[in-house]
Amino acid sequence: MKNTAVIGVGQTKFGELWDKSLRDIAVEAGLSAIKDSELEKGQIKALYVGNMSAGRFSGQEHLGALVADNLGLKNVPATRCEAACASGSVAFRDAWLAVASGSIDAALVVGVEKMTDVHGAGALTTLAAAGDQEWEASIGLTFAGLYALMARRHMFDYGTTKEQLASVAVLNHENGLKNGFAQFQMPITIEDVINSSVIADPLRLFDCSPITDGAAAVVIASEDIAKKSGNQAAYVLGSGKGTDTLALHDRKSYTELLATKIAAKAAYDQAKIGTKDIEVAEVHDCFTINEIIALEDLGFVEKGKGGRFIENGKASIGGEIPTNTTGGLKACGHPVGATGVRQVVDIVKMIRGKCFNKLDAKYGMNLNIGGSGATAVVNIFGKEPR
Amino acid sequence: MKNTAVIGVGQTKFGELWDKSLRDIAVEAGLSAIKDSELEKGQIKALYVGNMSAGRFSGQEHLGALVADNLGLKNVPATRCEAACASGSVAFRDAWLAVASGSIDAALVVGVEKMTDVHGAGALTTLAAAGDQEWEASIGLTFAGLYALMARRHMFDYGTTKEQLASVAVLNHENGLKNGFAQFQMPITIEDVINSSVIADPLRLFDCSPITDGAAAVVIASEDIAKKSGNQAAYVLGSGKGTDTLALHDRKSYTELLATKIAAKAAYDQAKIGTKDIEVAEVHDCFTINEIIALEDLGFVEKGKGGRFIENGKASIGGEIPTNTTGGLKACGHPVGATGVRQVVDIVKMIRGKCFNKLDAKYGMNLNIGGSGATAVVNIFGKEPR
């Protein structure tokens, strides 16, 4: 496998984008990443689109061709990749594989989801398709419900508190304050979280990431092309993907995600670095409990101690592992197919030292999760190639 | 890129499978291909699932994890790939890329679609999402409508007749007679076709492929593994993918599919063989006109003469290029995400000389098309590696 790097990044504002369509936001993010890469469109040899459910949200499948066509990427091979909320990272990983294999030397990845156009309970039902339809969704088990079961078990096993869950939301809202792309730019307090409406006990409204429209895109290229692009490159040092049972009830543990551990091990092994080398992380906080579990599964903190770790500021900027310093899914918003790519965009900016948060990292990682943990993708980036 | 081969194939019966679920048929096909490959499950290092619209048909996304989990492929990286009716081939091509790159040495591809569980106009509306939702589907332009426009133009430009269109359906029903996996095993006549109900003029009921449940699967592996599997291997000599505008109205021509030409050129170039070397072809006859256009775009016959070519028996067994000798989409049925993989299964059987039709080919190809031609994938297979 050859060395590769992300040489261009772009995204739309995340939020309720009533005046823009699915194709509008995909094109906006894609063009922005191509422009940032300084490549000509003709140099992009393949397109990978991460999207979970445009078929249900927007009545549109076949997003590879849609986005290639509307971006003016004439006749490039295009694929839409889907793994629920990990769709963006799965698309990124397939693009990485295409470039790392030497079959092509540059690809565009666009992650996109337009979630607000559906009416009534549409978004909730659509998202439930990320879990096991026959064993979970069909009996009314929503994603807040699934993560609530995990949170309740984590509280029971390890004494994790509702205040610790709330501290994740508070931190991420604080981090998002200066992120111009974030859906929410407002501070919240522990009291705001624990007094907000119950969604699925113990998770409350502010424990949940929102329904969001948005798109993000990156250009990934060979080391040769990356070197010509100067100091804009963030090298992909490792990429791992794991799966687990689709239904939560089939797992031995509710408090760890095996897929994350598998993906992380593969990425660490490939990158030939360890947890201690990672300086910034964007992890999947679709619900607050998931950021706690993520930091544990990635090895940043011992199992069961993630809540205290975050509460004590160790995941904050200046702490042991600055996490979701752009606001995470909680404040950025969570357009499901876009999130994995958005995480890459943000980590790349930090590797470049050009993120609004002024972090400048030698190594960074993202963890993107699909469903209740049936898919996990971990990517590790660095300033220099392996 | 390294040499690769298909070493295991399997499929379910295609048809109205009321007593089986989406997961049932995916698992049945997947296990059948793994068994045929004689690999242990642990040797399968990745899973690619081709599926267009399980989100809408079955309320289930996240098919990579679903199929990996239910096949007992513990924790393998899994991705669902989608490009409308070309989803199966797109998944196959991504798996090929993963193995040809040397990143893994064996992958499973499962193409699946469960289309009959939806009610009312569900399937029609769902399939329309393969086209341009805003410019085509939203104003009621169905897929029969799109291909009817192409057929009408082909008739106008080249004098193609309704009897020639009908001859495609007659041939494919005849070919499917002995195919135990086919949805339709009944002979039809030219009169049956031209007297059947008008669906979208000039296309009649028997010009259209049906709504179908079904799954197909293949194991693709490195040359090293393939050589150990004896004479079961069909080598992948070339694989090409092209895209075109999503909406039909944006194209210069309604009577050729540019994506097919791009995909075919890439596959021929890679395989280092030409049209004349191909001995059997499975092409995308979602509507009869499409088989005519396919044979022209692939170079088997001059543009405009495809109708006469088929009418004169040149695409029949014993003719110049035996085409859809298993019945094609017309008789086999067209479970959209499965079709591209089913085509590969059938070509591999012919390369092995073990197809029910008794054909034994040195080289074979499949052409799988998404939407009205916005995506096309061409794969070329042979008895020996390059």
Tens of pLDDT, residue by residue over B133-172, are: 999 999 999 999 999 999 999 999 999 999 999 999 999 9
pLDDT band at A121 (very low <50, low <70, confident <90, very high): low
**Closest chain B CA to residue A258:** B75
Spatial contact of A326 and A175, defined as CB atoms under 8 Å apart: yes
Contact B90 A84 (CB under 8 A): no
Question: What does the radius of gyration of chain A's CA atoms come to, in whole angstroms?
Answer: 19
**Closest chain A CA to residue B259:** A75
Contact A82 B90 (CB under 8 A): no
**Closest chain A CA to residue B92:** A79
How far is A256 from B308, CA to CA, in rounded Å? 63
Q: Can you give B35-79 as a three-state secondary structure string?
A: HHHCCCHHHCCEEEEECCCHHHHHCCCCHHHHHHHHHCCCCCCEE
Q: Give start and end residues of each alpha helix (H) in chain B.
A: 22-37, 54-58, 63-71, 87-100, 122-128, 143-158, 162-176, 190-194, 223-228, 258-271, 288-297, 306-311, 328-332, 336-352
Contact B65 A250 (CB under 8 A): no
CA-wise closest residue to A36 among A295, A216, A160: A216
Q: DSSP code of A41? A: G
Handedness of CA A217, A222, A227, A229 (dihedral sign): negative
User: Which residues on A lie below 8 Å from B83 (Cβ)?
Assistant: 62, 64-65, 78-80
Residue A336 gets the label, from left (phi > 0), alpha (psi -120 to 50) or beta, of: alpha
Q: Token pair of A198, please?
A: 């119950």
Handedness of CA B7, B334, B296, B376 (dihedral sign): negative
Residue A231 phi, psi dihedral angles, 5° rounding: -85, 15
Give percent of chain B with pLDDT exceeding 90.
95
Contact A244 B75 (CB under 8 A): yes
Contact A130 B80 (CB under 8 A): no
How far is A329 from A172, CA to CA, in rounded Å? 8
Contacts for A226 with CB less than 8 Å, ≥ 6 apart:
A3, A4, A5, A7, A233, A235, A385
Spatial contact of B308 and B164, defined as CB atoms under 8 Å apart: yes
**Closest chain A CA to residue B69:** A245
Spatial contact of B230 and B263, defined as CB atoms under 8 Å apart: no
In this predicted model, what pLDDT tens digit does every residue of A356-382 receive, in sequence order? 999 999 999 999 999 999 999 999 999
Contacts for B267 with CB less than 8 Å, ≥ 6 apart:
B238, B239, B240, B365, B378, B379, B380
How far is A376 from A90, CA to CA, in rounded Å? 9
Q: How many angstroms separate the CA of residue A27 from the nearest CA in chain B? A: 14
β partners of residue A47: A78, A108
Q: Which amino acid is at B14?
A: F
Contact B59 A21 (CB under 8 A): no
How far is A38 from A56, CA to CA, in rounded Å? 35
Contact A61 B69 (CB under 8 A): no
Query: B interface mutation test: which of A21, A62, A74 has the most B CBs within 10 A?
Result: A62
User: Which residues on A lie below 8 Å from B114 (Cβ)?
Assistant: none
Q: Token pair of A106, please?
A: 């540059």
Among A154, A173, A284, A334, the one annotated catalytic:
A334
Spatial contact of B214 and B14, defined as CB atoms under 8 Å apart: yes
Q: Which amino acid is at A137?
A: A
User: Does the annotation count A154 as an active-site position?
Assistant: no
Q: What is the pLDDT of residue B231?
A: 65
Spatial contact of B200 and B144, defined as CB atoms under 8 Å apart: yes
List the helix and strand counts (H, then E) for chain B.
14, 11
Query: A interface mutation test: which of B41, B56, B61 has the most A CBs within 10 A?
Result: B61
User: Which residues on B lie below 8 Å from A62 (Cβ)?
Assistant: 82-84, 129-131, 246, 370-371, 374-375
Q: How many CA atoms lie within 13 A of A47 on its CB side?
A: 37
CA-wise closest residue to B29 among B96, B88, B84, B111: B111
Handedness of CA A69, A70, A73, A78 (dihedral sign): negative
What's chain A's average pLDDT? 96
Inter-chain Cβ pairs, chain A and chain B, closer than 8 A:
206
Mean per-residue pLDDT, B305-333:
98
How far is B249 from A216, CA to CA, in rounded Å? 29
Q: What is the pLDDT of residue B79?
A: 97
In this predicted model, what pLDDT tens digit does every residue of B224-275 receive, in sequence order? 999 988 768 999 999 999 999 999 999 999 999 999 999 999 999 999 999 9
Contact A65 B246 (CB under 8 A): yes
What's chain B's average pLDDT? 96
Distance of CA A160 to CAs A286, B164, B171, Å? 18, 72, 68
What's domain A129-211+242-379's architecture?
3-Layer(aba) Sandwich (3.40)
Domain with CATH 3.40.47.10 in chain A: 4-120+212-234, 129-211+242-379
**Closest chain A CA to residue B23:** A134
For chain B, how are helix, strand and coil distributed in percent, rounded to 5? 40, 20, 40
Q: Is the pLDDT of residue A261 over 80?
A: yes
Q: Is the pLDDT of residue A118 over 80?
A: no
Among A81, A85, A286, A355, the one annotated catalytic:
A85
Domain with CATH 3.40.47.10 in chain B: 4-119+212-234, 122-210+240-379
Distance of CA B209 to CAs A20, A319, B119, Å? 36, 61, 19
User: Does the annotation count B85 as an active-site position?
Assistant: yes
Q: What is the pLDDT of residue B123?
A: 87
Minimal Cβ distance to B97: which of A58, A81, A103: A103
Axis crossing angle, helix A87-100 with helix A336-352, rounded to the nearest 10 = 60
Contact A1 B102 (CB under 8 A): yes
Q: How many CB atoms lie within 10 A of CB A201?
A: 12
Q: What is the pLDDT of residue A8?
A: 97
Residue A254 gets the label, from left (phi > 0), alpha (psi -120 to 50) or beta, of: alpha
**Closest chain A CA to residue B83:** A62
Q: Which amino acid is at A8?
A: G
Distance of CA B157 to CAs A13, B167, B255, B305, B384, Å? 48, 19, 9, 11, 41
In this predicted model, what pLDDT tens digit does every residue of A189-239 receive, in sequence order? 999 999 999 999 999 999 999 999 999 999 999 999 999 887 689 999 999
Q: How many angstroms separate the CA of residue A244 from the nearest CA in chain B? A: 5
Q: What is the pLDDT of residue A214?
A: 98
Query: B interface mutation test: which of A25, A45, A79, A236 has the most B CBs within 10 A?
Result: A79
User: Which residues on B lie below 8 Å from A60 (Cβ)?
Assistant: 129, 132-134, 137
Spatial contact of A284 and A367, defined as CB atoms under 8 Å apart: yes
Q: What is the pLDDT of residue B119?
A: 59
Contact B61 A246 (CB under 8 A): no
Is 0.90 exceeded by the ipTM? yes
For chain A, how are helix, strand and coil distributed in percent, rounded to 5? 40, 20, 40
Q: A4-120+212-234 adopts what CATH topology?
A: Peroxisomal Thiolase; Chain A, domain 1 (3.40.47)
Minimal Cβ distance to B262: which of A62, A75, A241: A75
**b/e per residue, B232-249, with b = 16+ CB within 10 A?**
bbbbbbbbbbbbbbbbbe
Q: What is the pLDDT of residue B168?
A: 98
How far is B316 from B321, CA to CA, in rounded Å? 7
Residue with the two structure tokens 């390059």 = B386
Spatial contact of B377 and B238, defined as CB atoms under 8 Å apart: no
CATH of domain B4-119+212-234: 3.40.47.10
Query: B interface mutation test: which of A110, A243, A336, A369 has the most B CBs within 10 A?
Result: A243
Omega into B187 within 30° of 0, i.e. cis? no
What's domain B122-210+240-379's architecture?
3-Layer(aba) Sandwich (3.40)
**Closest chain B CA to residue A88:** B79
Q: Token pair of A220, please?
A: 């990934």
pLDDT band at B121 (very low <50, low <70, confident <90, very high): low
Q: How many angstroms separate the CA of residue A135 from the nearest CA in chain B? A: 11
User: Which residues on B lie below 8 Å from A247 (Cβ)?
Assistant: 69
How far is B26 from B110, CA to CA, in rounded Å? 7
